[in-house]
Amino acid sequence: MKKRVLAALLCAVMTATLLVGCGDAQTENSESEKESTQKETESETETDSSGGEDAVLSVDPVVHYTFDSADENWKVVVADSAKAANNAYDISLTTGTRGIVDGSKDDIQIIDGAVGKCVYLNGSNALDLNFEATNTDAYSVSFWVYADRMVDFGPTLQMGSNIGMADGSGVSWLNITQASWDGTNDFPLIWSRNENYNLDTANTCWPWMYAFDGQQLVGQWVMVTVVDSGETYTGANGATYTGAQLYVNGELKYDSADNFNNGTYFEYTWDATLAPGLMKPAEGQTFEAYFGINYWDLIFKGCVDDFYVFDQAISADDVKALYAAGDATVTPNPDRTDDTSGPQDNAKPLLQNGVGKNDYSQGWWSTWSDIWEVKEGETKTVTYKNYHTDLNYQNYFNSAVVLQNTPTGHSGVETDANYAAGYAEYLVARLDNFAWKGDVNTGTEGHGLCTTESTWNWDTFKDDTHGATIVLTVTNNGSTADVVFNVTTQEGATYTQSYKDVAIDGPLYFCLTVEKACIDIVEVK
């Protein structure tokens, strides 16, 4: 089970979007334009014209965007799935699958925010923050964010070098995001990656840190501050990490030195911090800093305000001063007429016999339907409605069928809460026609473990599967089983997906599970 969870985690971040896009990397800004950005933002110390006041700090920022007007030097960008990163390097990991191209400031709104005015992003546009890396080991970043929606690994601030992995020169990034790998939707969570630190593969790391409090701070103003002390240490796996602190709303929520020395937050002290060198691009690399977009995941929707970058580690008092300058009670009130539409923006489905949360926040392998038996020579049919989050890629987040050999349980590990004696899986098959074998089958994960057929139109898969009616049949042939999804979309189009000749060696039971989706079971017969 742990192996599957890890595979699902890596799939979500690294490969979930490979089906959609192709193209080239972002449009670069000229060096002179970026130099101008830093010079202008360094001098911003006056009272915001909209009424919010700058914090009184002991150190000067190298970047400060108030977002009080569109005259500042950040840029608007949009996704272009036809112009993604050059996929020549490490396509099995995090090669970008969408392009990031220039948009227009006319398409964003400047409205009342936590500190004066803020920028509202409607789910189709984002920001190129257009600043240079500090080229220091120590640095700090801070901003206010109001998330209308967050999905796992979807970006707020994402910055680094070669983020989309357009070449083989190494990659580094920091992503302030949400993740639910501990069973809760934790936001903000800081996840970073580095293969640039001396370009030494022994120092490759994917560290992370968060508050460990199970909070998903969505639908409210949150001030996020990340402080990198620049001090490095070596973890148990031999990788190099850097000391850091995470503050949320002015309060210290995670300190890597404390955890490294005392195990205060988490027992695995080797990776719960930050990757080093994120503000020091490797030679020849271009530093990128975006808000609300990366090369893979669902574009952010919500507001950003009062963005700071410092070329040193700021103090706890400075963090408190930044928070004191804002007002978390302000409710953003944008014009939503032109907002990006999609399932996540529509009314939540009303579930009579549901599996999964109707806000699409359900984590993987965390909820299941009833478990139904299929006796030899018989067929069981389950009809259900399928709903899922509005993703910019087509796989991974949907319903799945699980064929197993026990009438209870979803794990054969005695320490797991869902343990059942003798539990084994014959097949797990997702609605997007990705499946993996269980303990009985042979073959590789993917499509090669049994006879499969699919008539999906992958160009419309996302829209077709949201709100679709699915008739799932499972047949027990004795030593094999057949699984067939018959799908009717809301518009009346029909598709079929099937898995034939799945090897079984005992009783046959099945159930349904979801991730970032929900289903409503209509009939079982």
What ranges do the domains of the chain cover?
14-324, 343-524
How buried is 266 (Cβ within 10 angstroms: 0-12 exposed, 13-18 middle, 19+ buried)? Answer: middle
User: What is the spatial distance between Cα 152 and Cα 436, in angstroms, rounded to a whole number?
Assistant: 22
DSSP 375-412: -TT-EEEEEEEEEE---SSSSSSSEEEEEESSSS-SB-
Percent above pLDDT 70 for the chain: 74
pLDDT class of 295 with cuts at 50, 70, 90: confident
Q: What is residue 305's predicted lDDT score, i.e. its pLDDT?
A: 98
Please check the confidence at residue 166 and state whether its pLDDT lies above 80: no
Rounded to the nearest 5°, which phi and psi values hold at 511? -150, 175
Phi-psi category of residue 263: left, alpha or beta, with phi > 0 → left and psi -120 to 50 → alpha: left
Token couple for 198: 């001396």
Do 154 and 180 form a contact (C-beta atoms < 8 A)? no
User: Residues 381-389: what's their mean pLDDT?
Assistant: 90
Least confident range of 199-208, 370-379, 468-477? 199-208
Most confident of 280-289, 296-305, 476-485: 476-485
More confident residue, 471 or 466: 471
User: Residues 90-111: what's their mean pLDDT?
Assistant: 72
Q: What is residue 96's predicted lDDT score, i.e. its pLDDT?
A: 52
Please check the confidence at residue 323 and state whether its pLDDT lies above 80: yes
Please check the confidence at residue 478 and state whether its pLDDT lies above 90: yes
Q: What is residue 167's predicted lDDT score, i.e. its pLDDT?
A: 66
Q: What is residue 80's predicted lDDT score, i.e. its pLDDT?
A: 76
- Specify which residues 92 forms β-bridges with: none
Least confident range of 92-96, 375-379, 397-401, 492-496? 92-96
| Cβ-based neighbours of 329, under 8 Å, separated by 6 or more | 221
Please check the confidence at residue 33 and state whether its pLDDT lies above 50: no
More confident residue, 10 or 449: 449
0.85 cut: is pTM over it?
A: no
pLDDT class of 47 with cuts at 50, 70, 90: very low
More confident residue, 297 or 116: 116
pLDDT class of 82 with cuts at 50, 70, 90: low
| Cβ-based neighbours of 89, under 8 Å, separated by 6 or more | 95, 165, 166, 167, 168
Per residue in 497-521, pLDDT (tens digit) is 999 989 899 999 999 999 888 999 9
Instruction: Please choose, from the candidates 403, 424, 400, the residue with its C-alpha nearest in 3D space to the C-alpha of residue 474.
Output: 403
Per residue in 63-81, pLDDT (tens digit) is 999 999 999 999 999 887 5
- What's the DSSP call for residue 223? E
User: What is the spatial distance between Cα 327 and Cα 178, in angstroms, rounded to a whole number?
Assistant: 23
Percent above pLDDT 90 for the chain: 42
Most confident of 56-65, 73-82, 97-106, 141-150: 56-65
Q: Could you give the dihedral angle defined by the CA atoms of residues 381, 386, 391 and 396, in that order, rounded to the nearest 10 degrees?
A: -20
More confident residue, 68 or 152: 68
pLDDT class of 92 with cuts at 50, 70, 90: very low
Please check the confidence at residue 292 and state whether its pLDDT lies above 90: yes
Please check the confidence at residue 17 and state whether its pLDDT lies above 90: no
Least confident range of 19-28, 180-189, 229-238, 257-266? 19-28
User: Residues 235-244: what's their mean pLDDT?
Assistant: 78
Token couple for 118: 């803020």
Q: What is residue 197's predicted lDDT score, i.e. its pLDDT?
A: 55
Q: Looking at domain 14-324, which CATH architecture does it have?
A: Sandwich (2.60)
Token couple for 27: 């449009």
Q: Are strands 75-80 and 157-161 parallel, antiparallel or unpaired?
A: unpaired
Sign (positive/negative) of CA torsion 431, 433, 435, 441?
positive
Q: What is residue 66's predicted lDDT score, i.e. its pLDDT?
A: 97
Instruction: Please choose, from the candidates 78, 114, 83, the residue with its C-alpha nearest in 3D space to the C-alpha of residue 97.
Output: 83
Do 223 and 323 form a contact (C-beta atoms < 8 A)? yes
User: What is the spatial distance between Cα 401 and Cα 212, in angstroms, rounded to a whole number?
Assistant: 31
Q: What is residue 104's predicted lDDT score, i.e. its pLDDT?
A: 94
Q: Which amino acid, 213?
A: D
Please check the confidence at residue 284 and state whether its pLDDT lies above 50: yes
Q: What is residue 267's predicted lDDT score, i.e. its pLDDT?
A: 59
pLDDT class of 435 with cuts at 50, 70, 90: confident
Please check the confidence at residue 294 and state whether its pLDDT lies above 80: yes
- What's the distance, Cα to Cα, between the start and end of the chain in Å? 30
User: Residues 190-202: what's their mean pLDDT?
Assistant: 68
More confident residue, 275 or 131: 131
Edge-to-edge, what's the strand order for the sheet holding 379-388?
Answer: 354-355, 517-524, 379-388, 468-476, 480-488, 494-503, 451-454
Please check the confidence at residue 18 and state whether its pLDDT lies above 60: no
Q: What is residue 14's predicted lDDT score, i.e. its pLDDT?
A: 32
Token couple for 157: 């601030």
Q: What is residue 43's predicted lDDT score, i.e. its pLDDT?
A: 39
pLDDT class of 88 with cuts at 50, 70, 90: very low
Do 246 and 253 form a contact (C-beta atoms < 8 A)? yes
Please check the confidence at residue 89 and state whether its pLDDT lies above 80: no
Instruction: Please choose, from the candidates 103, 74, 85, the residue with its C-alpha nearest in 3D space to the C-alpha of residue 296.
Output: 85
Write the CATH number of the domain with boundaries 343-524. 2.60.120
Do 178 and 297 form a contact (C-beta atoms < 8 A)? no
User: Residues 392-407: what's their mean pLDDT?
Assistant: 76
Question: Maximum distance among all alpha carbons in the chain?
Answer: 78
